[in-house]
Amino acid sequence: MPKPRPGEISIEEFKTIAEKGAPEIIILDVRDADEAMHGMLKGALNVPAGQIKERLTDIPKDKEIITHCITGLRAESAYEDLKAAGYRTRFLNALIQIDNDGKYEITKK
């Protein structure tokens, strides 16, 4: 079984946060706006990965930030940018599909 990458959140923990919420955690959807408009997790914030550095003021620094995208690649890139900017952050390294109602399916890569 492959070892988790530094900063990677488990699928199980991500699901718990996505379903129950956590006031001290923000789920950051780093997909492009056109992808996010087809469905987002309830309570998530959308800031595309390519805009993270320019939009740091839109991302609360007093909360832990969990990033996700479709495959985990952009989520890890956003994680690196946020970490370099001093944020407490982790990322989902898995495949996730979200429908218009916010229902989702996560599978390991």
Domain assignments of the chain as residue spans, ordered by start: 8-107
Residue 53 has pLDDT above 70, yes or no: yes
pLDDT of residue 1: 62
Task: Kindly give the residue spans of alpha helices, DSSP state H, lying in 50-108.
Answer: 73-84
CA atoms in the 13 A half-sphere facing the CB of 64: 13
Instruction: Tell me what the mean pLDDT of segment 78-82 comes to.
Output: 98
Q: Hey, what CATH class is 8-107 in? A: alpha beta
Instruction: Tell me what the mean pLDDT of segment 84-97 comes to.
Output: 97
pLDDT, one tens digit per residue, over 17-44 is 999 999 999 999 999 999 999 999 999 9
Rounded CA separation 38/52 (Å): 21
